[in-house]
Structure 1
Amino acid sequence: MLTIFLLFSQVASATPEYAVKESRNCPFCHASDGPPQLNERGEYYGINNHSLEGFVPSPASTPEPEPENKNEIGVHMNVWVVGSISFAFLLLMLVFIYVIRL
């Protein structure tokens, strides 16, 4: 039983020699969680007698972009435009009232 454990523990452990042999750094085969978790390349490397020959990565799925929600008033008017027009209208009304009172 101890012999089987020692045999498989040698096979399953990553060493710096693998990185030197493949001219890659550790994250190339290990998941972002870090060792000992393997990514797709690392699993392929272990199953195929410590070789990346013939490895074809699976296509990465591209997530759909989230739609942007803009708070717009009307078709082409945003809050800044409506506020500016309202402010100008109020100023014009004040000027008109001031002129009438003279």
Structure 2
Amino acid sequence: MSEVKTPPVRAQHIPDKAAFHIGGVGQVPGSFRIGEPDDDGERYFWYCCPCGCGSIAPLTVGEGFKPADGPSWTWNGSFDAPELTPSVHHRGHWHGWLRNGEWVSC
């Protein structure tokens, strides 16, 4: 599958773990859930690919900071208008940014 460009997709927070994962409402393109922070304040930011493929993947994020280990992102801490830095590359599916609560293709 080649990467697709989509119109902006609204990020929808799904707080319930069971509802988010496969078979639940988490398969809505652009939906996400945030795991609890670990001892270093890092969290998993689970998201459903904005391209519409239904693939769910985790990102390692820090609220207001970028974790030092491995690929990681800074999350602004918002559930209503989340932002991630840098861009998100869901290889083979979609590449873009999560800005002001919208997934925007690059």
Band the TM-score falls in, shorter-chain normalisation: under 0.3
Higher relative contact order (CA 8 A, sep 6+): 2
Based on CA coordinates, which of the two structures has the bigger radius of gyration? 1
Give TM-score scaled by structure 1 length.
0.21
Q: Give the number of the structure whose residues are more often strand, by fraction.
A: 2
Give TM-score scaled by structure 2 length.
0.20
